[in-house]
Amino acid sequence: MKNLSGLRFAAALATGAMAAFAFAADVQAAQSGQAQRNITTEQRTAGRSPDGLSLYPNWVFQRPEHYEFLPMTSNHDVHNQHPQQWDGQDWDPAAWDGQKWTAETALQGFYKNHTFHKQYLGGAKRMNNPNVQAQIPVLEVGPTFYKLSDLDQRRALKLLSEYTGVFEKGFTQIDLRDWKTRDSIGHFTQKGMFLY
C-alpha cells in the first residue's frame, strides 16, 4: 500500500514538473519573440464568449420584413402582392353535383352547424353625418366559424355573399360580429376577409 501511494505521489510530482517546464518554455519563447501560435487552443474559443456561449454574426438573426406581424394589413398585402396564389382556391357551386349538393344546401349546413348564426341589416353612424344611420349587412358568426381555417372562413363568406348578391345590391361590406358578444370582429368585402 505504501508503495502504491508513493507511485501516485511520484506521478503527480512528475506531471507538475512537466507542466512547469512547458510553461517556462512558453515564457522563454515569448520573451525571445519565437513563440508559435497554438492553433488548437485558439480554435477552441473562436466564435465563443468567455462564458463558452456561441457567438453568431448579426446576419444570422436578421429576418425579412414580411416575417413581422403587420396588424390590419397582413391579409391585404398578401392578396395584393401575390394575387395568383388565390387562383383556384374558391368554391365553384356550378361544378358541384346539383342533385346532391348546392350552394343553398351548403349555406343551410353552415347555419345548422353554427358556423353562421344569423344575418340582418344593422345600422351604423355615417362618418360625414353622425345623425344619419346607414344600413350595413351584418353576419353573426357562430362558434364553429372560429374552428375553420382562414381559407375556409373566406370561402364560406364568399359563398354567402355570392348567393345573397349583397355586393350587387350596392353594399360595400358585410360586418362580421360574434354571436355571443355581438362585437364586431372584422368585415368581408369584395377584396377579401379582414379580421381585427
User: What integer pLDDT is reported at residue 122 of this predicted model?
Assistant: 84
Residue 76: what residue type?
H
CA–CA–CA angle 162, 164, 179 (5° rounding): 105
d(CA 195, CA 71): 10
Pairing of strands 174-178, 116-125: unpaired
3-state secondary structure of 193: strand
Of the candidates 141, 133, 128, the residue with the CA atom closest to the CA atom of residue 174: 141
Per-10-residue mean pLDDT, the chain, length 196? 54 50 51 52 62 72 66 54 67 83 91 93 66 81 92 92 92 92 91 87
User: What integer pLDDT is reported at residue 20 of this predicted model?
Assistant: 47
Please name the residue that has the C-alpha cell 356550378: 94
User: What integer pLDDT is reported at residue 95 of this predicted model?
Assistant: 82
User: What integer pLDDT is reported at residue 53 of this predicted model?
Assistant: 73
User: What integer pLDDT is reported at residue 117 of this predicted model?
Assistant: 94
User: What integer pLDDT is reported at residue 153 of this predicted model?
Assistant: 93
| Residue 122, C-alpha cell as written in the block | 344593422
Pairing of strands 174-178, 133-141: parallel
d(CA 176, CA 161): 12
The model's pTM = 0.54
Pairing of strands 184-189, 133-141: unpaired
User: What integer pLDDT is reported at residue 54 of this predicted model?
Assistant: 73
Contacts of 128 (CB under 8 A, 6+ apart): none
